[in-house]
Structure 1
Amino acid sequence: MAPLAKDSSSTRAMTKVAHLYYRRGLVQTEIAEEMGLSQAGVSRLLTAAGEHGIARTIVIPPSGFHNDLEQAVEETFGLREVHIVETTAGDDVVPALARALVPVLQLAPIDGRTIGLTSWSRALQAAVDVLPDLPRANAGHIVELLGDVGRPSLQHRAALTTERFARATGGDPVFLRAPGVVSTAAMRAALLDGDPHARRALAAMDHLDLALVGIGEVRAAAPLSPGENFFTDAQFAGARAQGAVGEIGLRFLDAYGEPVASDLGELVLGMELDQLRTAGRRIAVAGGRRKHAAVLAAVRGHWIDVLVTDETTARHLVASGVDTGSIAS
């Protein structure tokens, strides 16, 4: 038996392909379509899985992989892929989630694609920080999915993340250098009227092949502060009073994954939920106990089809799906 590959992205890919082939009974063409790979690539991964002892008619996942739990979440909510990381109680889950997202991005089909990026998400920023340049990658446009939020230093950090991701993927960055949240709908209209670059970014969101998003609570979470190109505490409280339990790109969802009707949507310069829905692939990274309700809302509403999360959140999703059933939007 060949020694197990040290590259975690290769090991995860071998395990995932073996799981789909031996445990779920998918043929190689189906696996290739689901994972965005060529059939030859699937064949090579299956061969490597056998050589490394991951697959021997049955799948033997290496320590730290949770294929049965991943499959349970996928089947409960109709997700294309779920990737689960182990974390220690009390730890910040962001670094582990970021590391797990990297191989997902490395395997995603990106050539010529229009990719939306929530560049102010902490997990996505951390993933881009450690993402190596993808050899021979030739992405299309890399579109920021929300305008500037937070203090200037955070806005600068988001712009650098977009620029770094575009360089790693060979894409053309499309920046949205306008406030992410404004005070009135009239101000939003005036900003768009005078800023062709912002209009271009918003229009590009109609044609997303891949969307990379975070999932948030209905509150200002550090390092963001209420009211700094962001919703105030009172506005967040109003959204919660209307039933909001989570948000994607500051678009609020209720516990069933349904959009929350709110005038606050008219104050946001960023992707609409309808634009997210039509994206070819929608990858979210989120975890931690405080986000359980928000992540559950996102998968219940089928707003995403690939999820990177932690084990505790995944078990909460399965338990909630068994208790109440997954509710389609």
Structure 2
Amino acid sequence: MRTLKKVAHLYYEKNMNQKEIAKIVDVSRSQISRMLTEAKNEGIVKITILDTVDSCEHLEESLKKYFGLKDAIVVPTTSYIPDMIRQVVGQAAANYLNSIIKSNQKIGVSWGISVYEMIKSMKSLNLAETTGIEVVQLIGGLGQTSTTLQSFSLANELSNILDGQSHLMHAPGFVSNSNLVDNLKKDKEIGAILEKGRNVDIALMGLDALWKHRSLVQVDNLTENDLDLLEEKGAVGQSCFRFYDINGNICSKSIDERVLSISLAELKDIETVIGIATSLDTTEAILGGLRNGFLDVLVSDEKTVEEIIFQQEDFLEQNN
């Protein structure tokens, strides 16, 4: 009983993850998971679920209805300041992944702030007991963009959290010409990672317009001419650096051919593609991604989804 209390204290009050606690108590991580479950069963830990989580069910059903999603998680965020919304949505996405993940699955990871927040939240969860997890980088490196936001860093971090194996792509994600992409794809190692990415069971995707924030995203090969072309073509969002307009159409074939990542078309063949995004990532980026159809699940916040539903209903009314 004393050890159970210690483990519960370290996990719930000191916010340590299971791997850290396992080293202190000198047991395996799977034993820590069982001890946390036992602590709840013994009444050492009591968890209260607020009934406000039910308030967004109608929005979740509307998302599934309008965009053919398998699932949707809409987080009530009226009581949160804007800076906290990404964290709350990231936590909801982490909980969702933890609820569906199974042993021996492959998880693909893209890049961006929302994916970062989700993976950061995984550290504090009572993780499902799994083995044989593989985590695959879905896009190459993006120049001088913050390391914490890049796919290789996020994939490696998630594999560590899940005691899995990471498959990293040692190549740039966006290059100066399509011939270079073709040559990189022919490399045995890079080609193998891309193939693993096409065959993951779950893909974690951000949807945003981060490329417009030059202080955050610094990709040398994304030129001013490229930015002008994306604006001209009405780019509202990107996922794995695949740029699309409000209707989900790829904006520029010439730019798309310079990206070394899984394509939006290839994502449609993956069993479960989870999009994580908030109004801070822009509503248009999320709406365009939904209309493209590569998502199976969306995790977002109440205010954002209300706007998405409003815009989609208005669009359908005007086109009927």
TM-score, structure 2 as length reference: 0.74
Q: CA RMSD in A?
A: 2.8
Post-superposition shift, 1:226? Answer: 4.1
Contact 2:205–2:274 under 8 Å retained in 1:
yes
Which of these residues, 256, 269, 276, is aligned with residue 278 of structure 1? 269
Structure 2: distance between partners of 1:53 and 1:220: 41
Number of residue-to-residue matches in the alignment: 267
Identity of aligned residues (%): 23
Compute the displacement of 1:124 (Å). 1.5
The 8 Å contact of residues 77 and 302 in structure 1, kept in 2 or not, is answered as: yes
Asked if 1:162 is matched to 2:151, the reply is no
Question: Gaps spanning 5+ residues in structure 1: where?
Answer: 1-51, 55-60
Give the distance between the partners of 2:134 and 2:276, measured in 1 at CA: 21
Aligned to 1:48: none
Residues in 2 aligned to 1:246 and 1:222: alpha-carbon distance in whole angstroms: 15
Does the CA-based 8 Å contact 2:64-2:71 persist in structure 1?
A: yes
Distance verdict in 2 for CA 1:160–1:154, change over 3 Å:
closer
Amino acid in structure 2 at the alignment position of 1:306: V
Contact kept, 8 Å, 2:142 with 2:150, in 1: the verdict is no
Mapped pair 1:294 → 2:294: no
Report if the CA contact (8 A) 1:247-1:294 is conserved.
yes
Shift of 1:117: 0.6
2:300 partner amino acid: T
| 1:38-57 alignment runs, 5 A limit | none
How far apart, in 2, do the equivalents of 1:275 and 1:322 lie? 28
Of 61, 66, 70, which residue of structure 2 is paired with 1:71? 61
Task: Give 3-state SS (helix, strand or coil) of 1:300's partner.
Answer: helix
Q: Does the C-alpha gap of structure 1 residues 290 and 143 become closer, same or farther in structure 2, counting only changes over 3 Å? A: closer
TM-score normalized with structure 1 length: 0.72
Task: State which of 130, 136, 151 in structure 2 corresponds to 1:137.
Answer: 130
SS of alignment partner, residue 163 of structure 1:
helix
The one-character-per-residue Cα deviations of 1:212-239 (angstroms, maximum 9, x if unpaired) are 10002273336533433x5234313202
After the TM superposition, which residues 1-329 of structure 1 pair with which residues of structure 2 at under 5 Å, given as runs?
62-65=51-54, 66-85=56-75, 86=77, 88=80, 90-91=82-83, 93-118=85-110, 120-132=111-123, 134-151=127-144, 154=147, 158-193=151-186, 195-217=187-209, 219-221=211-213, 224-228=216-220, 231-288=222-279, 291-325=282-316
CA deviation map 1:254-290 (0-9, x unaligned): 2222233420112111111121010001100011155
Matched-pair contact (CA < 8 Å) for 1:289–1:312: no
How far apart are residue 114 of structure 1 and its match? 2.0
Secondary structure (helix, strand or coil) at the match of 1:219 reads helix
Cα distance, 1:81 vs structure 2: 1.5
**Residue deviations 1:177-213 (CA, integer Å, cap 9, x gap):** 21111112232234344x4321111111221211110
Secondary structure at the aligned position of 1:115 is classed as: strand
The CA deviation at 1:294 is 1.1
Unaligned runs of 5+ in 2: 1-46
Task: Give the distance between the partners of 1:289 and 1:114, measured in 2 at CA.
Answer: 29
- The structural deviation recorded for 1:89 is 5.3
- Aligned mates of 1:256, 1:89 — CA distance in 2: 30
Distance (Å, rounded) in 2 between the aligned partners of 1:162 and 1:73: 28
**Once the 2 structures are TM-superposed, how far is the Cα of residue 326 of structure 1 from its aligned partner?**
9.7
The Cα of 1:64 is off from its aligned counterpart by: 4.4
SS of equivalent residue, structure 2 residue 282: helix
Assess, with a 3 A threshold, how the Cα gap between structure 1 residues 209 and 71 changes in structure 2: closer, same or farther.
same
Q: Retained in 2: the 8 A contact 1:213–1:285?
A: yes
In structure 2, the CA distance between the partners of 1:92 and 1:181, relative to structure 1 (3 Å rule), is: farther
CA offsets 1:123-174 (integer angstroms, 9 cap, x no match)? 2122212314734312443111110013275179643421221133343211
Quote the Cα distance in structure 2 between the aligned partners of 1:62 and 1:310: 16
Distance in 1 of aligned mates of 2:149 and 2:48: 46
Q: What amino acid does structure 1 have at the position aligned with 2:89?
A: L
